[in-house]
Structure 1
């Protein structure tokens, strides 16, 4: 016996003070640190842009780890259900808005992605009483491609060979398509009352 409570055991509710929630908290703290690095020297210092990329990557990794740990070791809490998506959207939102303010990414891209993320988050909160809905493959793929695309734009691509920027745009367009398609799919599913195919 590992001594850990089985996932979903109502008789052994998880403590809010656990590793999964700690990682979520770390991600929240990293958001302002990331912005400081991104905007250092008016956002045009290649070294600070690389630092911002590293911070963003670490934050993305915590997003993957906290959910896996929470589900695997019975650490799912009401706080985690609320804080995890908020921390996720804060990170993505901060990165997108920052890149648009620096004119490295068009504002329409930021608005499309944020509209989808905020809308889906509100839908998830609306059905929270019916239970946590696992992310679909499409949602997981969207999250991965979105993170890669944003990460590429955080790098100082204007100081690198042109193919890097072209690659970043190809990945970003893939992220935009996945963002819109999975968002529409989630909305249709939620309106139909189906809670078996949630989208991340």
Structure 2
């Protein structure tokens, strides 16, 4: 197993710890761990591309790890800190829809790469979670969640619009 895949597995292993620290109200520790997990997300992709270590496992596991990390932390923050539940629901719905679209695409031999807007959305997810974990004024977290939610919806629509040919009735 190569280093990028090990970093992805490390990020997956950090997820229950982040959630546990949130439940225990150790928000700073959870925030630091979330930052470290997010850094591994950047590093695994960078190392894999730079050193030609891209694997099928990494192509699958990396985005799954990102989604699980973000959603688990958001969901854990809802009852503990009051993270906006609707923002987590929008993210979850979009991720399920886009993953479903990707499954349809794979069956037709088409790979749908991550779009630029989706990457920007991911950054807003990161900052909205950190703003909650580090107790920035609620208005900041709320504003980040609103922007994140709008980007989440628009990027989801963008995926479906760009992939409309997958649903043509012609065979």
TM-score between the two structures when normalised by the length of structure 1: 0.75
Does 2:92 match 1:114? yes
Question: 2:104 & 2:13 partners in 1: Cα distance?
Answer: 26
Contact map agreement 2:94 2:153 (CA 8 A) in 1: yes
Aligned length: 166
Q: Find the residue that maps to 2:53 and give its secondary structure.
A: coil
Higher helix proportion: 2
Give unmatched runs, 5+ long, in structure 1.
Answer: 1-16, 158-163, 194-200
SS of corresponding position for 2:67: helix
Higher-Rg member (1/2): 1
Pair 1:54–1:180, CA change in 2 (3 A)? same
- 2:159 maps to what in 1? 186
Partner Cα separation in structure 1 for residue 103 and residue 14 of structure 2: 24
Deviation for aligned residue 1:28: 0.3
Gaps of 5+ in 2: 167-171
Distance 1:49 1:77 in 2: 34
* TM-score, length basis structure 2: 0.87
Residue in 1 that maps onto 2:138: 165
What residue in structure 1 maps to residue 132 of structure 2? 153
Distance 1:111 1:74 in 2: 36
Aligned to 2:169: none
Report if the CA contact (8 A) 1:35-1:95 is conserved: yes
Alpha-carbon displacement from aligned partner over 1:70-89 (angstroms, at most 9, x marks no partner): 22222121111221121111
Alignment of 1:37-56 (within 5 A): 37-40=21-24, 43=25, 48-56=26-34
